[in-house]
Amino acid sequence: MDRRKEAWRPVLIAMKGHPGTGKSTLAKALAKAIKCPLVDKDHFRDCTYPIQQALLQTSPAMAAKLLNDLSYEAMRRVAAAQLGLGLSVVVDSPLSRQAHLNCLMEMAARSGARVVVVECKPGDEGEWRRRVEVRGADCGGMGWHKPATWEDMQRLLEEYGGCWEFDVGDVPKLVVDTTGGVEVEEMVSKVIEFVDSCNLDQESRDK
């Protein structure tokens, strides 16, 4: 049996990053390269639009929060099902709060899986802004809940109040600059190398 494949299972690769940072592009390429399921929180959130519209007359803010929480819960349940099958999984969400990481860690522990974090942090703010605004102008009806302008992005960051800069503790984390002019394939190779090194470290500790 291929020891490389054995080393990949099971591991939960938790993506982290704000909208427009290239997180989802990297997550898709990574899942394709290692041939494992990709569970994207936005796939669930996109589907809640009709429900949110129906709830607007009651409390728009409460509706948005409830449906966002529901999207996270659905994402975690699907990811847990894949881990339960012994599969590695890439989880694509902002991972903006400590509580979200804690939930993923608890879920992974139940399946004997490990968690690694891959954070997309743009070094070029101008390129990040361009991506946000291009996507906002051409979302095609999807991603309606994401910032459509740079001003929207700044408001979102203010709402976070810096909570996204939390300490991941003992969880291995790799920070990737998605605006540094590096091809996606090269970033994917870097992530795979990082996860492989984490597996080797774990094997050494288990001996």
CATH topology of domain 3-124+164-206: Rossmann fold (3.40.50)
The pLDDT value recorded for residue 61 is 77
- HSE at residue 137, side-chain half, CA atoms within 13 A, is 7
Torsion, Cα 38 42 43 48, to 10 degrees, reads 160
How far apart, in whole angstroms, are the C-alpha atoms of residue 177 and residue 175? 7
The pLDDT value recorded for residue 146 is 84
Q: In what order do the strands lie in the sheet with 173-176?
A: 38-40, 89-92, 11-16, 114-120, 173-176
Pairing state between β 89-92 and 38-40: parallel
Tokens at 17, concatenated: 């990053």
Q: Report the Cα 204 to chain-centroid distance in Å.
A: 28
The pLDDT value recorded for residue 3 is 42
191 and 118 Cβ atoms separated by less than 8 Å: yes
The pLDDT value recorded for residue 48 is 84
Q: How many CB atoms lie within 10 A of CB 155?
A: 12
Domain coordinates in residue numbering, the chain: 3-124+164-206
Query: How high is the mean pLDDT of the chain?
Result: 87
The pLDDT value recorded for residue 142 is 62
Tokens at 187, concatenated: 């970033």
Residue-wise pLDDT tens for the chain (207 aa)?
344 444 445 899 999 999 999 999 999 999 999 999 999 999 998 888 888 777 777 777 788 888 889 999 999 999 999 999 999 999 999 999 999 999 999 999 999 999 999 999 999 999 999 999 888 766 555 666 888 899 999 999 998 888 999 999 999 999 999 998 899 999 999 999 999 988 765 544 544
